Amino acid sequence: MRADIHDNAAWTAAAPTISVLTPFLRDDPDALIRQLDTEAELLGGRVELVLMDDGTNDAALTKRLKATLDGLSLPARLITLTTNEGRAKGRNRLTTAARGPAFLFLDSDMKPDTPHFLQNWTDLVAADEPAVAFGGFSLDQAPTDARFAVHRALSGASECVPAAERARTPEKYVYTSNLLVRRDVFDLETFDPGFTGWGWEDVEWAMRVSQRFPVIHIDNPATHMGLDTVADLAGKFEQGAGNFARVVALHPTIVQTYPSYKAARALKRLPALPLIRGLVKQAALAPILPTKARAFALRLYRAAVYADAV
């Protein structure tokens, strides 16, 4: 696929040790890259930014981002695609444009929680050259609108976890939101392009990689700013059912230990599953219910959707 490529003035002469890889679709990563650029002076060219617009087709956005890149001190490249490649294939493409010996996958809706975010990553690479490291994410700076309360409850309980706890099941807590991967590791284990739509391609990748390389966890978090409404989350769970089925087929022994799998198996036995699925979705969508009850209903809905895949 042909792509429009735009490099800023700092790109050509740079010799980075870390390439920050940020795909986006119908998002504007301007705030993220401006924040990262505040560390440029101390980094001394050790970090480059590689962004990829995965088919937004917004000429005004592309023009604004090119202007932003031209004003950055960090070396930066913008790749603009006219056709969406998807989460797995798109991230694989990003690595082919990167020049550093380590990749930092950082989603466009993240916001670093420390002014030394990139410095922390470069220090880790210089000291240990880890195969895979996940920095974690938080909700510290995320919007507190009532419409996002359920997503905050879900994410806070199951994903915003300190490094010591994540390290107990290292492959389970790996997301491309804030993930460092050494180049030679990724050369051996890329993201599976068989995953399409939303979800599970990063978790499945971690299941494969963890069998060959150590996966470490550190506390260098960034905030997930892109919270969703209940309706949007439910839609993503529906899109992700096929990907969940693919993970089950590829890694049955690992997935069978996950609560989401066990719940899906239990619900599958119920003859009234379609009715239950509809009822719990309505409960999750009901603003009159307490947030905890809605979050529980949404988790149950996810399991009911996944039941068709187990």
Q: Is a pLDDT exceeding 80 seen at residue 34?
A: yes
Q: pLDDT band for position 9 (50/70/90)?
A: very high
Q: Which domain holds residue 275?
A: 234-309
Residues 31 and 161 in one domain: yes
CATH at 38: 3.90.550.10
The answer to whether residues 65 and 136 touch, using CB atoms and an 8 Å cutoff, is: no
The predicted model scores a pTM of 0.92
Count CB neighbours of 5 within 10 A: 11
The last residue of one of the domains, among 199, 227, 255, is 227
The verdict on 104 and 180 lying in the same domain is yes
pLDDT at position 293, please? 96
Res 289: pLDDT: 96
Count of domains in the chain?
A: 2
CB 180 within 8 A of CB 121: yes
Strand, helix or coil at 175?
Answer: coil
Q: Which among 70, 61, 78, 89 has a CA at the least distance from the CA of 9?
A: 70
pLDDT, residue 13, reads 92
| Residue 192: band (very low, low, confident or very high) from pLDDT cuts 50, 70, 90 | confident
Q: Apex CA 198: angle with CA 234 and CA 180, to 5°?
A: 125
The whole-angstrom distance between residue 77's C-alpha and the CA centroid of its chain comes to 20
Are 265 and 291 part of one and the same domain? yes
Residues 262 and 250: their CA atoms lie apart, in Å, by 17
Instruction: Give yes or no: residues 147 and 248 share one domain.
Output: no
Nearest to 245 by CA among 307, 173, 190: 307
Over residues 86-132, the pLDDT tens digits come to 778 888 889 999 999 999 999 999 999 999 999 999 999 999 999 99
Question: Does residue 244 sit in the same domain as residue 286?
Answer: yes
Which of 227, 259, 283 finishes a domain?
A: 227
| pLDDT reported for residue 1 | 62
Do 126 and 253 fall within a single domain? no
Does one domain contain both 182 and 140?
A: yes
**What's the distance, Cα to Cα, between the start and end of the chain in Å?**
35
Query: What's the CA gap between 162 and 172, in Å, rounded?
Result: 13
Cα gap 77→237, rounded to integer Å? 33
Q: Are 14 and 41 in contact (CB under 8 A)?
A: no
Do 210 and 148 share a domain, yes or no? yes
pLDDT at residue 264 above 70? yes
- Other C-beta atoms closer than 10 Å to the C-beta of 140 total 12
**238 and 223, same structural domain?**
no
Of the three residues 227, 242, 273, the one that is the final residue of a domain is 227
Both 16 and 82 in a single domain? yes
Q: Are residues 135 and 213 in the same domain?
A: yes
Query: Mean pLDDT throughout 275-295?
Result: 94
Same domain for 204 and 264: no
